Structure formats: C-alpha cells, structure tokens
Amino acid sequence: MNFREKKVIVTGGTRGIGYAISTAFAQRGAQVAMVFRTDRNKAEQTLLEIREINPEYEHLIFQADLSDPGATALTFDRCVSALGGVDIVVNNAGIGINHSVDSVCYEDWQDIWQKTLACNLLGPANLCFCASKHMIAEGGGRIVNIASRGAYRGEPEKPAYGASKAGLISLGQSLAVSLAPYKIFVGTVAPGFVETDLSADLMASEKGAGVRAQSPLGRIALPEEVAHAVLFLASEGAEFSTGTVIDVNGASYLR
C-alpha cells in the first residue's frame, strides 16, 4: 500500500497502537501529524523516529485533550494548517478505567462514565465532524476509528469502555452511510488484547497465560497487526468496504 503524499492525523499517535499506526503510514510515504495528551517526552522521541523513517516530510506532534470539544476543533484546524490539508484521520486515542458495578460508589461510577465517554466517543465524534466538513469541501477522504472486541463481548470490569467502543462502531457505520455520497469512507478496527505498555503488567501476571489462551494462536496481537488493518481501510481500493468493522483478535471472539 502506497500513501505517498497523503496527509494523516493519528490521535494517540505516539505510543502503543497509535505509534504502530503512525509508523506504518510514514513507512509508506505519508506525512503524519500525531496528537498526544500528556507524555511529551515520548511524543518527541516518536517524532524523531518518524522523521528518520520518512525524512521527506515535516511530521508533526500536537498536545491536546480531545475530550474537550474546543480543543478538538482547535487541534484539527492546527493539524490541517500545518499539513496543508488532510486525507486520512485515525481516531485511536482512548482510555479504559476499571469500575465494575460492585466495586465503586455512585459518584465514582458517574465520574468514570463521563470521562470515558468524553474521551472514547464524544472526542472521536467531534473530530469526525471536523474532518467530515473539511473532506466534503475537498472532495473526499478516509476516517478509521479504533474500537475494541469489548464492544461485542462486553467489559464487566470496564463497562463504560465497552459501551463507548460499541457507540464508536455505531458512529462509524452511521457516518459510512451519510458520507459515502461525498467520497468519504469510514471504517473501524476492533482489536482484542494488544502487546503494548498498557497490557504489559497484565500479560506478565498470573492472568497472562489465560489471556493468551483466549486465542487459538496462543498469543495476543502485535500493534503492527492492528496498524495493518487500519492501512487497508485507509487505502485506495477499499472504498466498497466502507462501514466495515475488522476484528483483530486472533479468533478469541467470533461474531
């Protein structure tokens, strides 16, 4: 897949799955703007690596809290201005907070739901809105959202996370229908467990073997495998797959 001269925004694009996505686009010729929330040192390190991978372009990082609607619109405008446009937007940023119904008080329950929906669903929805308006004016584009296996299987320890990812899938399908006449194509990737720093402690614990055993492959996904699915949905020739959800869970959950 060739993304030469394509301009890409990746939220949560400097670590974990987002890092793999940003790297994959850069390796294939794209110019990448990565949005991060807090870890500037990691973001700057990633930026240096991306620039080494593809020195042809001035790749960029932007710090923003995309759960803030005003920050989302401002950051999108800054990215578009710096890139000179945008062809592909990847909504990867998200949070997952444990809050099983039998372990938290009512106030914490409300707080975690609000934070999770603001980051995982409303933030991507707002960025999709901004991107759609720009892409309509420019004659088309691609949007890829990163959801989760938990949207289908359920997340008993993180119900707000599961619900937000289910909402993100529905959002992508709705936009795929409404934006197709404008040549804007929308897809979703739904990973299971992925080998990142966020899953490292779990996989190193006594529960790790059980998690690996959920897949007949006996392991969890590599970030690069999630990125591969994103590249497909964002590529030329995948237009008729608009509205698709690609599961990247190693047959650990089939629907």
Q: pLDDT tens-digit profile of 45-68?
A: 999 999 999 999 999 999 999 999
pLDDT above 90 (res 245): yes
E strand spans, the chain: 7-11, 31-36, 60-63, 88-91, 141-146, 184-191, 245-248
In the chain, domain spans: 7-193+222-248
161 is catalytic: yes
pLDDT tens string 214-232: 999 999 999 999 999 999 9
What's at 107, amino acid-wise? E
Q: What pLDDT does 215 receive?
A: 97
Which residues lie across from 185 on neighbouring strands? 142
Q: What pLDDT does 233 receive?
A: 98
**Residue 48: in which H helix or E strand, if any?**
helix 40-53
CB 27 within 8 A of CB 59: no
State which fold the 7-193+222-248 domain adopts.
Answer: Rossmann fold (3.40.50)
Average pLDDT over residues 192-199: 92
CA dist 63 → 23, 41, 72, 75 (Å): 18, 11, 11, 8
Average pLDDT over residues 206-219: 96
Read off the pTM. 0.96
Using CA atoms, how far apart are residues 188 and 229, in angstroms rounded to an integer?
9
> Which of 57, 106, 152, 161 does the annotation list as catalytic?
161
CB 120 within 8 A of CB 139: no
Using CA atoms, how far apart are residues 80 and 100, in angstroms rounded to an integer?
40
Q: What pLDDT does 95 receive?
A: 96
Q: What pLDDT does 200 receive?
A: 87
